Amino acid sequence: MQLLRGTKDILPDEIFLWQHIEKTASQIMKLANYHEIRTPIIESTSLFKRSIGNGTDIVNKEMYNFIDQGSREITLRPEGTASIARAFINNKLYTHTTTNRLWYLGPMFRYERPQQGRQRQFHQLGLECIGSLNPMADAEVIRIAHKLLNELECSNYNMEINSIGQLEERHKYKQSFVEYLERYVNDLDNNSKNKLYTNPLKILDSKDTKTQEIIYDAPCLHDYLNIKSKKHFDKVCEYLEFLNIQYNINKQLVRGLDYYNYTAFEIKTKLLGTQDTICGGGRYDSLIQELGGPNIPAVGWAIGMERLLLTIKNQLNEKIHNKKPIVYLAVNGQNTEKEIFNIIQLLEQKDISYHLDLDTNSLQKQLKKANKQKAKACLIIRDYEIKNNCVTVKKLSTSEQEQFSMINIHDLIKTLKTIN
Ligand code: ATP
Ligand code: MG
């Protein structure tokens, strides 16, 4: 049986890196009063069509859709925000407090061509600050992303930020932009040509040089922004400067989802190839209302865990070692079982991790395995130890061997705890 294309097993030798990121994130979130939320992996297909938008790549090409046995149209979630907005409305979270700060971590699914930094099942760590129009909320979420990346010692990244204004401003802009592009339609790359009437803003994002040359002289979205949009953007930039957070204004940055307005941003790393965006986010003031909820604004982001890991794996590996059991229990003899369970209970009480050898090999072989496992000590229990109510401890770094009485376990525990 083969693993599905674009999916990955996360094995024990990597999981401790994931746990480290999760622990770091949850500490930072807790300090800023963000609460974890876990929503289902499956949702109604219509949720994503209505929120992410019909003209987007995600909805058109990337969703994992299926019909369940009750003939319902269901989708494996491609991102987190739509589900959170749905949960926010369904559970009327707005009745408890005016600002809801939520964070999440979980698998997302997109049918894309698998490559470095792009999987079909991947994970996002994200947050949403729901309930405020204040540009300080934008600065708060961006600040937390930076704090997390810095704490994880992710360096070499850049933040790009833009304002994509409000729906009406974008609507006017789209008309002029499309009119302009129509003059050059034959010179556009195929992908952009296809988007001309469905999702023209995404053409700004095109990597094609010819298309980029055409865009160079095209009308600029910023010139279509009204005072309110501009003020919001200026405030966000002012806060970022105050916070000493580096950013570049990228006037061509539009995000792949329909629901954004005002602030849009992406954090890119220089350490990855083409798939260089590790975090994407922005403001989505009308999404909750669009989905049938009250008119409540929000801003948030999502970090791609796999891409983040690619950039910090090496440093993290050196910094946090995968802790191996420190005591290897080598057993040899007829009536040792009961004593072993007593010792295991004792080690647990004293918070000492252990590895019990379950093979009936010679003591020599067990010692070899203990070395291979990089255990610090081997606790040997044979008929001799049972008869004398003691255990033998062999320090694996020096091969020194010492016996400890089980009557007073103080010395044994002290030795095991201090062995290195
Ligand atoms: P891209 O331009 O790389 O396709 P996107 O704009 O589709 O990214 P978002 O929807 O903003 O991505 O998701 C936020 C983050 O999730 C991305 O910046 C990226 O780190 C990660 N991500 C998105 N799609 C994938 C994928 N297929 N595999 C791994 N990570 C992904
Ligand atoms: Mg994408």
pLDDT tens string 213-257 = 999 999 999 999 999 999 999 999 999 999 999 999 999 898 877
Q: Strand 248-249 vs strand 261-269: parallel, antiparallel, or unpaired?
A: unpaired
The average pLDDT across 93-118 equals: 96
Q: Taking 90 as the threshold, does the pLDDT of residue 325 lie above it?
A: no
Percent of the chain with pLDDT over 70: 99
Measured in Å, residue 358 CA sits from the centre of ligand 2 at 48
Which of 104, 115, 122, 160, when mutated, tests ligand 1's pocket best, judged by the most ligand atoms within 8 Å of its CB? 122
* Least confidently predicted of 42-46, 69-73, 113-117, 195-199: 195-199
Query: Over the chain, what is the mean pLDDT?
Result: 93
Tokens of residue 409, six digits: 């376990």
Q: If we measure between CA atoms, which residue out of 256, 2, 260, 3 comes closest to residue 119?
A: 3
CA of 126, closest atom in ligand 1: 14
* Entry pTM: 0.91
The average pLDDT across 277-289 equals: 96
Please give the Cα distance from 380 to 363 (Å, whole number).
8
Q: If we measure between CA atoms, which residue out of 378, 382, 366 comes closest to residue 333?
A: 382
Q: What is the pLDDT of residue 322?
A: 61
Measured in Å, residue 364 CA sits from the centre of ligand 2 at 55
Measured from the CB, is residue 278 less than 6 Å from ligand 1? yes
Residue 240 burial (CB count, 10 A)? 21
- Give backbone dihedrals phi and psi of 55, rounded to 5 degrees, phi first: -90, 5
Measured in Å, residue 388 CA sits from the centre of ligand 1 at 63
CA of 308, closest atom in ligand 1: 20
Q: Which ligand approaches the C-alpha of residue 272 most closely?
A: 1
Q: Taking 90 as the threshold, does the pLDDT of residue 182 lie above it?
A: yes
pLDDT tens string 3-60 = 999 999 999 989 999 999 999 999 999 999 999 999 999 999 999 999 998 888 899 9
Topology (CATH) of 12-166+226-319: BirA Bifunctional Protein; domain 2 (3.30.930)
Measured in Å, residue 108 CA sits from the centre of ligand 2 at 12
Q: What is the pLDDT of residue 13?
A: 87
Q: Taking 90 as the threshold, does the pLDDT of residue 169 lie above it?
A: yes
CATH class as words, domain 327-418: alpha beta
Nearest CA to ligand 1 atom 6: 256
Q: Taking 90 as the threshold, does the pLDDT of residue 291 lie above it?
A: yes
Which ranges in the chain are annotated with CATH 3.30.930.10?
12-166+226-319
At 361, is the pLDDT very low, low, confident or very high (cuts 50, 70, 90)?
confident
Measured from the CB, is residue 277 less than 6 Å from ligand 1? yes
Which ranges in the chain are annotated with CATH 3.40.50.800?
327-418
* Least confidently predicted of 229-243, 266-280, 294-308: 266-280
Nearest CA to ligand 1 atom 8: 277
Q: Which residues contact 363 (CB under 8 A, 6 or more apart)?
A: 330, 332, 380, 382
Nearest CA to ligand 1 atom 3: 275
Element at 375 (helix H, strand E): none
CA of 117, closest atom in ligand 1: 29
Q: What is the pLDDT of residue 72?
A: 98
Phi-psi region of 201 (alpha: psi -120 to 50; beta: other; left: phi over 0): alpha
CA of 279, closest atom in ligand 1: 18
Q: What angle do CA 324, 330, 336 make, to 5 degrees?
A: 135
Measured from the CB, is residue 112 less than 6 Å from ligand 1? yes
Q: Taking 90 as the threshold, does the pLDDT of residue 68 lie above it?
A: yes
Q: Taking 70 as the threshold, does the pLDDT of residue 323 lie above it?
A: no
